[in-house]
């Protein structure tokens, strides 16, 4: 090959690298320009389990697009603000949490992270792991984080070179699974070499000019198979007088097939990381579902607390009214001489005390509103901060069918609790590890086959020095011309064939590392069995505690309602007795205090009952179903259900 051709190849490679850099810069710029509005593409709308590098080759050198997280509140929040208030039902609170809650938004990113892990393992790399999934250290041959021992290693040795062998079997090497790799190389050399004799070359020093080129393609497979194909050659000129071909142009074309037959053979041995990463997609879904359940339970309980705080304000306001009425009545009685002046002072003290209780109740209500606003928005803007929340639902009334039987509840928990599902999925991952480690116990036996034809061309010198050069054919003077095309033609026409077959066997004498890893994998699997039973026991305990909590809360609420009615009757009786002169203002005030206190206890009991129902739904893993939450809506952050206030559209604006 002429020097000009070598420079042309180098120029082409340079242009390719430059084009790659330009394309990379362009993609980075596009990613940086993604807007951060509420309408920006959600990260869940992307599929990170595959790339699109074909037919766009340059996409292999850029990251996949990752949208910026939207930090604007969803349109639903603005639509719910009417007449200076945020009208909020429980279902609307849940919808806002699915759209805006940052805990849920943060948890969403675990799913695409699991998808990138799957993409990584499809290339033959080790899984990095996701939240909730455990990757056994017994899967790795060396230090934690190194590539697994079942994978192939590196690019093929022998993919470049002169193209002829000294007589041994030729193996161009192997490449790791699973992404194909293509390589090119071009080189040039000029050298002047002094010699201590003129016998070999006819000169005391030799000048050489050489250029070489090579290219190879390699790919490994999950079966333990590796294929390497290579093509290359060189062109060299020398000042030696004894050279028969000058310039000399050798070429080669080769293909090697390597196959593991014991250690590293088959899908189970080589695809452990891929199988684990694919299973981890389910783990990521389960962890997200668990996070959504936890956040939803928090929002629901905080909504019940808001209703309880509002009820406390009502009770406190009634207490203030009673105290003011007593003050007015006592003042009138003092004026006509029926009561001592101290009774007015006592009544004023009661009014002040009740006003203090009202201020405390109002403060707690405002604090609970701020807490709920933070949970239902990505940020509390000026519009949201300036409006109070007006809850439109009431605390639930007890019902005989609020919860099913204990046996049915235990079955629901065993079926729906994400903690149990995650342990079962981790046990599945451990099975993949055990299968891989069992294969790693075997000796290493591999076979290879190589087809490696070569060619040689150039200017075959003739008619010169009779000691070294043959006579020229008729009509030819000085040399028989030839070039790279002639040399490659010889290689492809199998003019100079070269076939190699080989077997390689490696038997570890004690095999302690593989034995230790395989044993550790079994120990970890037994440990997971204990953990699974532990999670089941915990779920059963949670269900029993939740059933007890619901039963107790229902009984307390029934008792509180009955007590409230009795305190009302007591107050009415004391008021009638006072009007007849048979009671005192102190007893009336005491009855009013008792009733106000009991009404607060009843409101607290209603709140406790509502929370007990939430606790039961969480314990059985059915809280999403209880509040009609679709997991697809939770993942996307886009809820299409209608808002629950009169006069609103059937769906939030912008959807």
As a whole-number percent, the residues of the chain with pLDDT over 70 amount to 86
Task: Round to whole Å and give the CA distance between 87 and 77.
Answer: 10
Q: Tens digit of pLDDT for each residue in 461-475?
A: 776 767 667 777 777
The whole-number average pLDDT for the span 274-293 is 94
391-to-250, 293, 396, 609, 645 alpha-carbon distances in Å: 86, 22, 13, 18, 10
Instruction: Give the model's pLDDT for residue 276.
Output: 93
Instruction: Give the model's pLDDT for residue 460.
Output: 80
Q: HSE-up of 350 (CA within 13 Å, CB side)? A: 29
Which region among 21-30, 415-424, 505-514 has the lowest average model confidence (pLDDT)?
A: 21-30
Nearest alpha carbon to residue 623 among 613, 633, 632: 613
Q: Is there a contact between 161 and 234 (Cβ–Cβ < 8 Å)?
A: no
Task: Round to whole Å and give the CA distance between 542 and 407.
Answer: 13
453 three-state secondary structure: coil
The 3-state secondary structure of 535-555, one letter per residue:
HHHHHHHHHHHHHHHHHHHHH
380 three-state secondary structure: coil
> Could you tell me how far CA 619 lies from the centroid of its own chain?
25
Q: What is the CA radius of gyration of the chain?
A: 41
Q: Is there a contact between 263 and 444 (Cβ–Cβ < 8 Å)?
A: yes
Query: φ, ψ for residue 449 (rounded to 5)?
Result: -140, 135
Which region among 333-342, 470-479, 622-631 has the lowest average model confidence (pLDDT)?
A: 470-479
Q: Tens digit of pLDDT for each residue in 226-273?
A: 999 999 999 999 888 777 788 889 999 999 999 999 999 999 999 999
Instruction: Give the model's pLDDT for residue 541.
Output: 96
Task: Round to whole Å and give the CA distance between 412 and 409.
Answer: 5
Instruction: Give the model's pLDDT for residue 222.
Output: 92
Which region among 1-5, 170-174, 322-326, 540-544 has the lowest average model confidence (pLDDT)?
A: 1-5
Q: pLDDT category, 369, cuts 50, 70, 90?
A: very high
Q: Tens digit of pLDDT for each residue in 584-610?
A: 777 877 887 788 888 888 888 999 999
What share of residues in the chain are helix, strand, coil (percent, to 5)? 50, 15, 35
Task: Round to whole Å and give the CA distance between 628 and 642.
Answer: 13
Instruction: Give the model's pLDDT for residue 153.
Output: 36
Q: Tens digit of pLDDT for each residue in 176-206?
A: 888 899 999 999 999 888 887 777 777 778 8
| Whether the predicted pLDDT of 433 surpasses 80 | yes
Q: pLDDT category, 16, cuts 50, 70, 90?
A: low
Task: Round to whole Å and give the CA distance between 409 and 340.
Answer: 63
The whole-number average pLDDT for the span 17-35 is 46
647 conformational bin, left if phi > 0, alpha if psi -120 to 50, beta if neither: left
Q: Which residue has the tokens 């809280």?
A: 623
The 3-state secondary structure of 67-116, one letter per residue:
CCCCCCCCHHHHHCEECCEEEECHHHHHHHHHHHCHHHHHHHCHHHHHHH
Instruction: Give the model's pLDDT for residue 436.
Output: 93
| Whether the predicted pLDDT of 37 surpasses 80 | no
Instruction: Give the model's pLDDT for residue 118.
Output: 93
Q: How many residues does the chain have?
A: 655
Query: What single-letter DSSP state applies at residue 177?
Result: B
> Could you tell me how far CA 159 lies from the centroid of its own chain?
38
| Whether the predicted pLDDT of 25 surpasses 50 | no
Q: Is there a contact between 400 and 94 (Cβ–Cβ < 8 Å)?
A: no
Tokens of 501: 């077959």
- Select the more confidently predicted residue: 328 or 223: 223
- What is the sign of the dihedral through the CA atoms of 25, 27, 30 and 36? negative
Q: Is there a contact between 302 and 375 (Cβ–Cβ < 8 Å)?
A: yes
Query: φ, ψ for residue 253 (rounded to 5)?
Result: -140, 130
The whole-number average pLDDT for the span 352-368 is 91
CATH architecture, domain 73-150+271-443+511-655:
Up-down Bundle (1.20)
Q: Which residues contact 225 (CB under 8 A, 6 or more apart)?
A: 257, 258, 259, 260
Task: Round to whole Å and give the CA distance between 148 and 125.
Answer: 8
As a whole-number percent, the residues of the chain with pLDDT over 90 amount to 48
- Select the more confidently predicted residue: 622 or 344: 622
Task: Round to whole Å and give the CA distance between 608 and 548.
Answer: 12
Task: Round to whole Å and give the CA distance between 218 and 73.
Answer: 50
Task: Round to whole Å and give the CA distance between 26 and 270.
Answer: 37
Instruction: Give the model's pLDDT for residue 38.
Output: 44
Which region among 16-30, 167-181, 546-560, 604-618 has the lowest average model confidence (pLDDT)?
A: 16-30
Beta strand extents in 389-470 (DSSP E only): 389-391, 444-451, 454-461
**What residue spans define the domains of the chain?**
73-150+271-443+511-655
Tokens of 26: 């362009």
Tokens of 494: 């199998």
Instruction: Give the model's pLDDT for residue 6.
Output: 45
Nearest alpha carbon to residue 453 among 163, 161, 162: 163
- Select the more confidently predicted residue: 464 or 63: 63
Whole-number average pLDDT of the chain: 83
Q: HSE-up of 316 (CA within 13 Å, CB side)? A: 20
Instruction: Give the model's pLDDT for residue 144.
Output: 36
Q: Which residues contact 384 (CB under 8 A, 6 or more apart)?
A: 73, 77, 81, 86, 373, 377
Query: φ, ψ for residue 431 (rounded to 5)?
Result: -65, -40
């Amino acid at each position: 090959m002429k020097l000009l051709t070598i420079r042309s190849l180098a120029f082409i490679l340079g242009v390719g690298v430059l084009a790659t850099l330009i394309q990379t810069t362009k993609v980075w710029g596009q990613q940086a320009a993604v807007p951060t509005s509420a309408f920006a593409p959600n990260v869940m709308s992307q599929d990170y389990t595959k790339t699109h590098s074909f037919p766009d080759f340059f996409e292999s050198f850029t990251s996949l697009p990752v949208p910026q997280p939207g930090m604007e509140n969803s349109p639903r929040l603005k639509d719910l603000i009417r007449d200076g208030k945020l009208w909020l039902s429980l279902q609307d609170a849940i919808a806002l949490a699915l759209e805006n809650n940052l805990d849920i938004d943060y948890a969403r990113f675990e799913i695409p992270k699991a998808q990138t892990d799957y993409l990584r393992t499809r290339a033959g790399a080790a899984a990095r792991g996701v939240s909730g999934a455990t990757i056994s250290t017994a899967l790795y041959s060396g230090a934690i984080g190194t590539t697994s021992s079942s994978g192939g290693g590196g690019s093929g040795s022998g993919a470049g070179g002169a193209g002829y062998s000294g007589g041994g079997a030729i193996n161009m090497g192997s490449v790791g699974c699973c992404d194909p790799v293509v390589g090119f190389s071009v080189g040039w050399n000029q050298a002047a070499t002094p010699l201590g004799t003129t016998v070999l070359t006819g000169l005391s020093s030799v000048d050489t000019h050489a250029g070489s080129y090579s290219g190879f393609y390699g790919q490994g497979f999950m079966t333990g198979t590796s294929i390497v194909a290579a093509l290359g050659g060189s062109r060299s000129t020398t000042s030696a007088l004894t050279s028969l071909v000058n310039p000399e142009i050798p070429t080669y074309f080769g293909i090697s097939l390597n196959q593991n037959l014991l250690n590293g053979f088959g899908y189970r041995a080589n695809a452990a990381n891929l199988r684990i990463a694919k299973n981890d997609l389910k783990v990521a879904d389960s962890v997200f579902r668990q996070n959504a359940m936890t956040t939803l339970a928090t929002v629901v309980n905080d909504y019940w607390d808001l209703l309880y705080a509002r009820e406390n304000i009502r009770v406190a306001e009634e207490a203030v009214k009673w105290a003011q009425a007593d003050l007015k009545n006592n003042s009138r009685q003092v004026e006509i001489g029926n009561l001592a002046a101290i009774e007015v002072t006592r009544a004023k003290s009661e009014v002040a005390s009740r006003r203090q209780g009202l201020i405390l109740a109002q403060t707690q209500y405002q604090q609970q509103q701020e807490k709920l606003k933070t949970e239902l928005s990505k940020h509390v803007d000026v519009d949201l901060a300036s409006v109070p929340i007006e809850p439109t639902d009431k605390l639930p009334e007890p019902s005989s069918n609020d919860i099913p039987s204990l046996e049915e509840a235990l079955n629901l928990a065993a079926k729906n609790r994400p903690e149990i599902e995650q342990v079962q999925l981790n046990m599945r991952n451990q099975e993949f590890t055990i299968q891989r480690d069992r294969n790693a116990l075997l000796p290493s036996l591999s076979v290879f086959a190589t087809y490696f034809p070569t060619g040689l061309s150039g200017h075959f010198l003739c008619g010169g020095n009779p000691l070294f050069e043959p006579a020229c054919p008729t009509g030819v003077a000085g040399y028989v011309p030839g070039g790279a095309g002639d040399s490659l033609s010889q290689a492809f026409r199998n003019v100079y064939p070269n076939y190699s077959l080989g077997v390689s066997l490696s038997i570890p004498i004690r095999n302690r590392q593989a034995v230790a890893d395989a044993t550790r994998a079994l120990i970890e699997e037994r440990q997971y069995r204990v953990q699974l039973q532990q999670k089941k026991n915990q779920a059963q305990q949670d269900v029993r505690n939740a059933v007890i909590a619901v039963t107790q809360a229902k009984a307390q609420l029934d008792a509180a309602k009955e007590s409230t009615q009795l305190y009302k009757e007591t107050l009415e009786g004391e008021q009638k007795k006072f009007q007849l002169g048979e009671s005192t203002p102190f007893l009336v005030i005491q009855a009013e205090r008792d009733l106000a206190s009991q009404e607060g206890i009843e409101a607290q009991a209603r709140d406790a009952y509502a929370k007990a129902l939430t606790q039961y739904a969480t314990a059985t893993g059915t809280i999403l179903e209880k509040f009609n939450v679709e997991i697809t809506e939770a993942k996307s952050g886009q809820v299409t259900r209608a808002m629950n206030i009169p006069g609103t559209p059937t769906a939030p604006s912008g959807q």
